[in-house]
Chains A and B, each alone.
Chain A
């Protein structure tokens, strides 16, 4: 069973600002309340190609996703580690983020891809965000019907969270905009 979702969203902010906001999305303490399911974000690795202006980063994202009691019992934990790999090409003005879970892989695989590019209609002012999420529940015949429910919950949670994530992104963009024009919020 695989479910795939794709979403598009336009930020009325330049690519430079939106991608700056993306890095701050989880770490900003002000946003801890909105994105309360995110527990910790650690940078595990980074590499800069100084010739071409490409930046590669690997981060660990720890998510708290408590499920119903029975699921917790089976899964044995309600903490999920995800790994996010990012590539930013400053010259081409492109940012790609791929996130996948590394915990609970026996049960579920979630892959989220996000790409930020300048919007073709207003490349210096707007940014288009394309997001794809795919959720695959591993076949466990005895648990098939429950798996269906988990998948449903998971999908709902993802859709909710990406809406919350956009809210946070918009807020950080506004903040960065104010900061860059020298206004303190």
Chain B
């Protein structure tokens, strides 16, 4: 639980996870550019970094709106969920709806 929640809307809520976050993001960025885009996507990497970082987030993420995404089965945006291989909806907006 978030023990010392200071002011509401304080933005430093996840800063205790800053080191774990950096470790995960560094690992992810390397994996993305050196493997994933080069066709080596069969193996998920950075798993231990992700688990540590995620555990920290679930402890420190105070914002209810955000923490539900931690539990979600990923992909919350209906526009992006479309997996038919088509471009996302509204590929051309141009004006107002």
Q: Which residues of A contact B (CB under 8 A)?
A: 2-4, 6, 15-17, 19-20, 23-24, 27, 39-40, 42-48, 50, 53-58, 60, 62, 64, 76-77, 79, 81, 83, 85-90, 92, 94, 96, 98, 100, 102-103, 113, 115, 130, 132, 134, 176
Indicate whether A85 sits within 8 Å of B75 (C-beta atoms), given known contacts A43-B28, A60-B66.
yes
Given A3-B96, A16-B38, A98-B79, check contact A113 B74 (CB 8 Å): no
* Given A4-B93, A6-B93: A79 in contact with B75 (beta carbons within 8 A): no
A81 to chain B, nearest CB (A): 6
A63 CA to B75 CA, complexed, in Å: 21
Minimum CB–CB distance from B33 to chain A (whole Å) comes to 4
- The reply to whether B75 and A56 contact each other, CB–CB distance below 8 Å, is yes
- B25-A58 in contact (CB<8A): no
Contact of B72 among A4, A45, A79, A90 (CB under 8 A): A45
The verdict on A44 contacting B57 (CB below 8 Å), with A24-B29, A113-B79 known, is yes
Q: Is B37's CB under 8 angstroms from A58's CB?
A: no
Contacts of B38 in A (CB 8 A): 16
B77 within 8 A of A: yes
B57-88 contact mask (Cβ, 8 Å, vs A): 1 or 0? 10001010110011010111101100101011
Tell me if A77 and B9 are in contact (CB < 8 A): yes
User: When A40-B11, A44-B57, A50-B42 are in contact, do A58 and B75 touch as well, CB less than 8 Å?
Assistant: yes
* Sampled A-B contacts (20; CB under 8 Å): A4-B97, A15-B37, A23-B28, A39-B11, A42-B17, A43-B50, A55-B41, A56-B74, A57-B74, A62-B11, A77-B8, A77-B9, A83-B66, A85-B77, A87-B75, A90-B41, A98-B80, A102-B66, A115-B87, A134-B97
